[in-house]
Amino acid sequence: MIRSRDRGLPDFPWDSLAEHTATARAHPGGVVNLSIGTPVDPVPAFIRRALAEAADAPGYPATHGTPELRKAAVEALHRRHGVQGVEPDAVLPTIGSKELVAWLPTLLGVSQGDLVIIPELAYPTYEVGVRLAGAQPFRSDGLSAVGPARPALVWLNSPSNPTGRVLPVEHLRKVVDWARERGAVVVSDECYLTLGWDSEPVSVLHPSVCGGRFDGLLAVHSLSKCSSLAGYRAGFVTGDPALVSGLLEVRRHAGMIVPRPVQAAMTAALSDDDHVAAQRERFAARRDVLREALRRAGFRIDHSAAGLYLWATRDENAWDTVGWLAERGIVVAPGTFYGPAGARHVRVALTATDERVAAAAERLG
């Protein structure tokens, strides 16, 4: 059997939480699991209807997605994020965003000897994807640290998972210009773009960042959080038409296709903004409750200006904080899951029901 470590991959991080999760489950009031950003709110009824109405789909779906889906994605990017000029042919649906993050370096032809820049604190799948391609990850939030190297790929993530940090337009533009000078592809993970709280995040495809040119740029989007579609595995990538065309060709060969009923559900979700606003309000209310409760309990909240998480610390080893919270029936993720710089923080997800969030706040109080 070939194991993860035989491929140079780390062990799956959340497996290491098993003991603390068991401790939390033993709490008399039950567990409050804030360790993973998995949606808990119902899928909106109109999206479920769109899925059901497309259920009689005996033939193979189009890898490129339906014209209606691609058009809906372009229009949603314009309405929600001010992105202009994306052509429907430059939209490609993906089986959620995680599979794209994991396989994108390989699909783009990144290989052994190539350098891929990932954020200092990053979603673990960025590094996994680099190692699957046989390339070398380099953690950095600043261009000067890279030196004269010419990376093949640069990952951006704003709002950040785990920290909730928002990169300003000036920083994004500087990265784009720097990468273009070196022939590197910039991929922006924008899965939390609708969840700006204290700061408004901007897409790498916004004209203020890219100058109206998409060459060398890709933006990754997910419907998991804004539309509660994690169970549908619904995402898409867009940007440079030439890069998207290349991805399409490889994915057609590999059979990486979003099911037709899911494409119909995505089309419905991308065509409606009201449910996105309603879900945002739910997350905002839970954020307020958890942030105040953590502060009362002696935590400091760093960054967390946007996104689905609170980046919290008690200025101690992250695993000590995980254990302290587990004794109170609360499970969180240690910052070490996201890189060495997270050694004294924990990530607290906003994805629990109102009742569970209230229970966590009471225990912290």
Q: Which has the minimum average pLDDT: 113-117, 145-149, 192-196, 343-347?
A: 145-149
* Residue in the structure block whose two tokens are 């649906």: 93
Q: Is residue 218 part of a domain?
A: yes
For the cut 80, the answer to whether the pLDDT of residue 15 exceeds it is yes
Of 226, 243, 272, the last residue of a domain is 272
**What's the pLDDT tens digit per position in 167-192?**
999 999 999 999 999 999 999 999 99
Q: What is the per-residue pLDDT for 127? A: 96
Mean pLDDT of 33-57: 97
Q: Is residue 326 part of a domain?
A: yes
**What's the pLDDT tens digit per position in 205-218?**
999 999 999 999 99
Percent of the chain with pLDDT over 70: 98
Q: What is the per-residue pLDDT for 142? A: 80
**What's the pLDDT tens digit per position in 319-353?**
999 999 999 999 999 999 999 999 999 999 999 99
Give the 3-state secondary structure of residue 315. Answer: coil
The parent domain of residue 142 ranges over 56-272
Query: Alpha-carbon distance 238 to 187, whole Å?
Result: 10
For the cut 60, the answer to whether the pLDDT of residue 260 exceeds it is yes
pTM of the model: 0.94
CATH number where 332 lies: 3.90.1150.10
**What's the pLDDT tens digit per position in 270-285?**
999 999 999 999 999 9
For the cut 90, the answer to whether the pLDDT of residue 6 exceeds it is no
**What's the pLDDT tens digit per position in 82-105?**
999 999 999 999 999 999 999 999
State in Å, rounded, how far the first CA of the chain is from the last one: 48
Q: What is the per-residue pLDDT for 3? A: 60
Mean pLDDT of 21-36: 96
Write out the two tokens for 187.
């991929």
Burial of 319 (0-12, 13-18, 19+ CB in 10 A): middle
Mean pLDDT of 249-268: 97
Q: Is residue 32 part of a domain?
A: yes
CATH number where 110 lies: 3.40.640.10
Number of separate domains in the chain? 2
The answer on 297 and 265 residing in a single domain is no
Query: Alpha-carbon distance 296 to 352, whole Å?
Result: 20
For the cut 90, the answer to whether the pLDDT of residue 143 exceeds it is no
Among residues 225, 136, 130, 131, the alpha carbon closest in space to that of 187 is found at: 130
Selected residue with higher pLDDT from 14 and 103: 103
Query: Alpha-carbon distance 18 to 283, whole Å?
Result: 26
Burial of 1 (0-12, 13-18, 19+ CB in 10 A): exposed
Of 272, 291, 319, the last residue of a domain is 272
For the cut 60, the answer to whether the pLDDT of residue 307 exceeds it is yes
Count CB atoms within 10 A of the CB of residue 253: 9
For the cut 90, the answer to whether the pLDDT of residue 148 exceeds it is no
Selected residue with higher pLDDT from 4 and 178: 178
Residue length of the chain: 365
Q: Tell me the H-state helices in 271-334.
A: 274-296, 318-326
Q: Is residue 49 part of a domain?
A: no
Query: Alpha-carbon distance 112 to 291, whole Å?
Result: 43
Name the DSSP class of 297.
T
For the cut 80, the answer to whether the pLDDT of residue 144 exceeds it is no
* Residue in the structure block whose two tokens are 């497996």: 15
For the cut 90, the answer to whether the pLDDT of residue 145 exceeds it is no
Write out the two tokens for 144.
């000067």
Q: Is residue 284 part of a domain?
A: yes
The answer on 280 and 209 residing in a single domain is no
Q: Cα torsion for 47, 51, 52, 54, to the nearest 10°?
A: 140
For the cut 80, the answer to whether the pLDDT of residue 11 exceeds it is no
The H-or-E segment that residue 189 falls in is strand 185-189
Of 253, 272, 291, the last residue of a domain is 272
For the cut 90, the answer to whether the pLDDT of residue 2 exceeds it is no
Q: What is the mean pLDDT of the chain?
A: 95
Q: What is the per-residue pLDDT for 13? A: 76
Percent of the chain with pLDDT over 90: 93
The answer on 212 and 153 residing in a single domain is yes
Q: What is the per-residue pLDDT for 16? A: 86
Name the DSSP class of 306.
B
Give the 3-state secondary structure of residue 118. Answer: strand
Q: Is residue 47 part of a domain?
A: no
